Structure formats: C-alpha cells, structure tokens
Structure 1
C-alpha cells in the first residue's frame, strides 16, 4: 500500500523553518513563521492565561468529554467577543474546533455539503493553507484581485471587477482584519460595497478572523465582521484564539454559522455536530476553557486586554521604526506602506532573488514572496533588516 503513495509538495514556510534551524550563524533573523514573538524572541504565555490555568488546575475535577461541538459557554464568550450583539444569539450556530485551521476546514466541508457546486473566491494572495485545503477537498476556487504590487495597497477596483463574476450560491473568503500575507485591509466604506455586491449576487461571505486585537484593537478589528454579520442573510466565520490569546499549541478555534432566519440555526448546529464527529469527534477543551475563563472573569479579562494592547502597540512601533529607517536609508517613502499595514504581516515587494540574497548573505529569513512577520523583529534588528534591504539596491 505505502509504495503507492507519492511525495507531497513541500510547504514553503516549513521548509524555511528547517533552513533557519540549520543555520549556525549568530544574529540570524526569522521573519518567516507566523507566530508572535516578543523583543526577546520568545512566544510568551500571557499573564491572564497563566492565571486562568492556575485556577483551572485547582478547580477542575474531570477530563471527561464535553460535547461534539465543545462547551456552550465557550461559544457564548467567543460570539460575544467577535459579534458583540451584531446579531441575536439564537441566529448563531457554533462549534469549537482544533484551532482556526480546524474552523476553516469545517467551514469548507459545510459549504461542500450544502452546495457541491459552490465556488469559493479567494483573495490574490491569501494564506496558502486556504488553497491547499480547497484543492485537497476538490472544491473549485476562483482568485480575485486584492493586492496591488505597485502601491502595496488593496486593489479595490480589481477586486470588485472580479467579484462581479459571482454566481448565486458562491462563497467569498474574506480576511476579517490584518490580511495574511499582505497586511493591507479594506476600509469600512469598501466593506459595505463588497457586502452590497454579495447580497445583489446571492453570494455568501466566509470570514477568516485570525488576528482580532492585533491591528487596531479588539473592537475595530471586529467592526467589518460585525457589519457583514448584520448585513448578510447567511455568514460563516472561522475565528482563532492562537494569536490573541497566545495559545497556539492548545489548538483553540471556533466556527460560527449565522442565519437571518433563526429557525435554521438548529439545522446548521446539527450539521456542525455531524462534521465534528466525522473529523475528530470531540474538540480540544483546555484552551477553550481557559479562553472562556478569561473572557467571563472581569479581572482576567482586563489583564488579557491590557497585555494584548501592549502586543499590538509593540508591533505598530516596529512598523513605524521600519518605515522610518528605510526612508532614511533610501531617501524615499516607497516603504511607507509598512507603517500603514496592520497585523503581523506585510509583503515588502522584494524580488525573489533579493529575498534569497538576504537569506544567504545576511541570515535574514522571509517567505519567497517577501512576506515578513513583523513580530519577528525587535528594536535592534529593524535597522539590520532596513540596511540589508537598502544595500540590496531594490
């Protein structure tokens, strides 16, 4: 049997991580992997998470299964965090999942069950795993223009022109905030125009919300998602707790299905339970329970919000420092977009040969399309990266 298997395509980010580990040079810089790191290069356990886990250790008396879709208290807490009353609770079905990736996978499975002919429109570019999962599931995908490589901003006219080709029942995958991999986001006026087009075409929005709190703040980062939720008759939302709670290895995510008609909620909920049963039965609970404790305890919540804000502002300072350093070294504001982008990522617009040169000559690791993880920098490494880019002659 095994001799019938074929070698799978190499994951470029995983390959980059391996090259980084094998590099023995001091001062190497990892800007590839999409994990938050502090100034010391550590992905810390947040203070509120540590305290919640301490309380949980003292109080938890069983490790028995919860339910196929996880704890309802987790659903309620996350629906409140993401939607904040944008739609009635009875209109939202939900299922806990193994991380945001699990939520994305279950959403794609649900779409395929509901409408095997649905096409899923994805931004150019998007997170590579979106495309990989869609291809594995043999779901037709259509790319829509999103990022202007010249201006390093959203190509909104191109996006709208491509979405004009939607058919009723198609799904449009949108990043709720902090677009990965570009860092370029729609403004609320543009979001409203997208919503109007989707509703006119009879298409369904699916939102991947992986970075709430990392861009402009918890509420501002959720504003577009809330606008979509209250404006469209059916919406899917895949949300992750990996980044904003720092619980990467706990695999904590949630899939929400919103219906304008509350009578459909039970049907959606039944199908989410079915999908969980087919894929992994009961979802992980530890991270979900910790998140629930934090969101429902005023002291823990304040502790978490304060640390999350420190994290967000730290990344903004790095963006501003990077833009200023490059302007000083190049005499041009062509990299000013770095300060305007939001979240962990920006795509710098460097040719692939320059990216390779930075790795070989400077020990600076970034994805081949020049996407960098801003959180992989600190105040000391920003000037090193800026000088390497300026010296490359781009």
Structure 2
C-alpha cells in the first residue's frame, strides 16, 4: 500500500537551509530561514523563559494530561495580551500545536460551520497558508496585496478583491508584520477593511504570529483589537514562537469571538472536539512557560524588556540597510525597508537576481526575494547592500 504514495514537493525553505549548510564559502549569509537570530547568529532562550522553566521544574509534580482545550491560565493570559479587554461572554479559545496548528484548527472550524466556505488570502502570503488549504481541499481566492513597484500595500486593489467575499466566507488577514512582505496596513486602512467585512458578512481570520516584533505589543495588536471590537464573529490564530522565542515548544492559541454566550459555548465545544480529533490534548510545557511569565509582574516586565531589545535591533538593522542602499544606489528606492516591520521584507527582486546573490555573494534568501532582517548584523549589512546594488536589483 505505502508504495502507492506519491512523492511530495520538498519545502523550498528547508531545501535552502540544506544548500546553505553545504556552502563552504567564508562569509556566506543566511537570510532565508524565518527565525530570530541575535548579532552572533544564535536564536537565544529569553531570560524570562529560562526563569519560568526553572520555576516549573522546581514546582511541577506530574506530567499527567491537563485539559482538552489547554489550561485556562494560559488561554486567558494570552487572549488578554492579544485583545486587551477580553469579552468573556463572547470568547472561546483552545491551545494548539503552534500558530500553524491554530490556523489549521480555524480552517477546520470554518468548514464545519460552512461546508461551502471560500477563503480569501493575500497575494503573497505565508506559503503554509496555501499548502494547508490545498491539502484540505478548501477553495481559496487570492486577493491583491503587495505592490511590487512601491514595495507597499496595494490597498485599493485589496479592498476591491476582499469586497467579493460573501457571507460565510473567510478573509485571512495578517495581524502585523506581514509575512513575506513586511508591508503592513495602517490603522485607517484597518478601519476600511472592517467596514467592508461588516457589509459583506465575511468572517476575518487573523494570523497574529509576530506580535511585539513590529511597533510594540499593543501597537501590533491594534488592527486585531479594532476588528474584534466591531465585528460579531472573528477568528484569531496567535503564536508564541517568535515573541517568546519558544519555536520548538509549538505553543499557539485559537481564539474565536462569537455573537453571544450561546454561540460561544457551541464554538468552544466544537474547538475542543477538533483538538481531540487532531492531537487529543495540546502540548503543555510552552503554554505553562507563557502563562508563568504573563501572570508574574517581574517575569512579564523582563520579558517585555527583552522583546523590546529584539524589536529595536530589527528596526536598527532596517534603518542601517536602507541608509547603506541609499548611499550606494544614490536613490531612495530602497527606503521601503525602513518602513516595513517584523522580521521580513520583500525586495521585489527577480528569481534570477536572487540566484545571482546566492551564486556570486553567498547570500541566501527565498526565491521570491523575501529576506530575513534578523539574519543580518551590523557587519553584514554593508555586504548585503553592496551585493544588492551590484546584482542590479
């Protein structure tokens, strides 16, 4: 039977990682893999995470199952971080296997509620969004988002496209730090998106994977909170991988805002059912680390301070790269890099130019020219800038 399986297309980013490892050149630069790295190229364990793990190790007396939906302390604390004021009478939530698991569960939930659902997703978007929907057989429509000329949001085109979503459809939005482009909606633009969804009855699914990496914890949640305050039904997939640095612990949360308490209870039961079918009880260690940090003033303060250090490091690298490119190209065409937010920017380079960067300069990025700003440091920024200009980008 197993011999009947069809070969699966390899993941392009994982292939890029292996290619980078096999490159023996000194001074090669990895801008492909989507994880935060400090100036020494290390993805650190945050101070508050270390301390929280120590406390858990000292106090934990059992590894028995916890709760099908995940511990309430974790779900409540993370929902409050995302939403600010949590309307308890409308909010259902479940712990998931990372933010990816939250996206998958949200799409499963949407299909349970409406078997004819169509998902509207930005062009471009995180490749796993498309991969999951294709595997599930979910119909989806790509809406225009990124303007390759300005390297900003093509907002008029986006509005025209998402207005075509109907009642019961899902519009997948990036809460902040758009992956792969780094180009974000302004709060005024979020207002217009909400007005379109109010009129159409389509349900937003917000992927909030980088809260705290853009303009700050609260600022990065502004769009999500606006949507939650205005629309009767909202799905939010939150990830702790980046802002807590616990990638391998697979810690996520699916939040559903409903019209009323009765719908909340119905939704909570459906989400718990999906957990049971897909992985039974959710992972607990990462969730317990997060709740330990968020419910302790000292740990929370230290975590927020370190997260700010990370955010400001990224902003500093963006400003430095934009400045270097302005100087070398004698133009402002790369200033968008300083305006983008999060770990990624999309250069707008051709696949051939990306290949040139790799072959001639040992600079690795995804084929669509998404580069991970966190893969740089102050010494490698000038190297990248010169290579970009010499490649004719």
Give the TM-score normalised by the residue count of structure 2: 0.99
Instruction: Quote the residue 1:348 is aligned against.
Output: 347
Counting only pairs closer than 5 Å after superposition, residues 21-40 of structure 1 correspond to structure 2 as 21-40=21-40
Report the alpha carbon displacement of residue 393 of structure 1 after superposing the two structures with TM. Answer: 2.2
Instruction: Quote the residue 1:316 is aligned against.
Output: 315
Instruction: Quote the residue 1:163 is aligned against.
Output: 162
Report the alpha carbon displacement of residue 22 of structure 1 after superposing the two structures with TM. Answer: 1.0
Report the alpha carbon displacement of residue 260 of structure 1 after superposing the two structures with TM. Answer: 2.6
Instruction: Quote the residue 1:362 is aligned against.
Output: 361
Counting only pairs closer than 5 Å after superposition, residues 271-290 of structure 1 correspond to structure 2 as 271-290=270-289
**Structure 2 contact 117–169 (Cα < 8 Å) conserved:** yes
Instruction: Quote the residue 2:75 is aligned against.
Output: 75
Instruction: Give the SS at the match of 1:174.
Output: strand
Instruction: Give the SS at the match of 2:206.
Output: strand
Instruction: Quote the residue 2:188 is aligned against.
Output: 189
Report the alpha carbon displacement of residue 90 of structure 1 after superposing the two structures with TM. Answer: 2.5
- Inter-partner Cα distance in structure 2 for 1:137 and 1:113: 12
Instruction: Quote the residue 1:14 is aligned against.
Output: 14
- RMSD value, Cα: 0.7
Instruction: Give the SS at the match of 1:33.
Output: coil
Counting only pairs closer than 5 Å after superposition, residues 144-159 of structure 1 correspond to structure 2 as 144-159=143-158
Report the alpha carbon displacement of residue 127 of structure 1 after superposing the two structures with TM. Answer: 0.2
- Inter-partner Cα distance in structure 2 for 1:84 and 1:134: 30
- Inter-partner Cα distance in structure 2 for 1:108 and 1:21: 35
Report the alpha carbon displacement of residue 164 of structure 1 after superposing the two structures with TM. Answer: 2.0
Q: Deviations over 1:169-194 (max 9, x none)?
A: 11100000000000000111110111
Q: Which moved more, 1:320-329 or 1:87-96?
A: 87-96
Instruction: Quote the residue 2:379 is aligned against.
Output: 380
- Inter-partner Cα distance in structure 1 for 2:303 and 2:282: 24
- Inter-partner Cα distance in structure 1 for 2:137 and 2:229: 31
- Inter-partner Cα distance in structure 1 for 2:166 and 2:33: 36
Report the alpha carbon displacement of residue 5 of structure 1 after superposing the two structures with TM. Answer: 0.6
1:127 aligns with 2:126: yes
Instruction: Give the SS at the match of 1:89.
Output: coil
**Structure 2 contact 163–196 (Cα < 8 Å) conserved:** yes
Instruction: Quote the residue 1:47 is aligned against.
Output: 47
- Inter-partner Cα distance in structure 1 for 2:232 and 2:173: 16
Instruction: Quote the residue 1:64 is aligned against.
Output: 64
Instruction: Quote the residue 2:142 is aligned against.
Output: 143
- Inter-partner Cα distance in structure 1 for 2:24 and 2:69: 45
Instruction: Give the SS at the match of 1:97.
Output: strand
| Greater than 3 Å deviation, 4+ residue runs | none
Runs of at least 5 residues in structure 2 that lack an aligned partner in the other structure: none
Counting only pairs closer than 5 Å after superposition, residues 79-98 of structure 1 correspond to structure 2 as 79-85=79-85, 87-98=86-97
Instruction: Give the SS at the match of 1:238.
Output: strand
Q: Which moved more, 1:19-28 or 1:125-134?
A: 19-28
Report the alpha carbon displacement of residue 25 of structure 1 after superposing the two structures with TM. Answer: 1.4
Report the alpha carbon displacement of residue 238 of structure 1 after superposing the two structures with TM. Answer: 0.2
Instruction: Quote the residue 1:223 is aligned against.
Output: 222
Instruction: Quote the residue 1:205 is aligned against.
Output: 204
- Inter-partner Cα distance in structure 2 for 1:260 and 1:353: 50
Number of residue equivalences: 393
Runs of at least 5 residues in structure 1 that lack an aligned partner in the other structure: none
Instruction: Give the SS at the match of 1:90.
Output: coil
- Inter-partner Cα distance in structure 1 for 2:227 and 2:392: 43
Counting only pairs closer than 5 Å after superposition, residues 92-107 of structure 1 correspond to structure 2 as 92-107=91-106
**Structure 2 contact 89–260 (Cα < 8 Å) conserved:** no
Q: Deviations over 1:257-293 (max 9, x none)?
A: 1013122111101001100000000110000000000
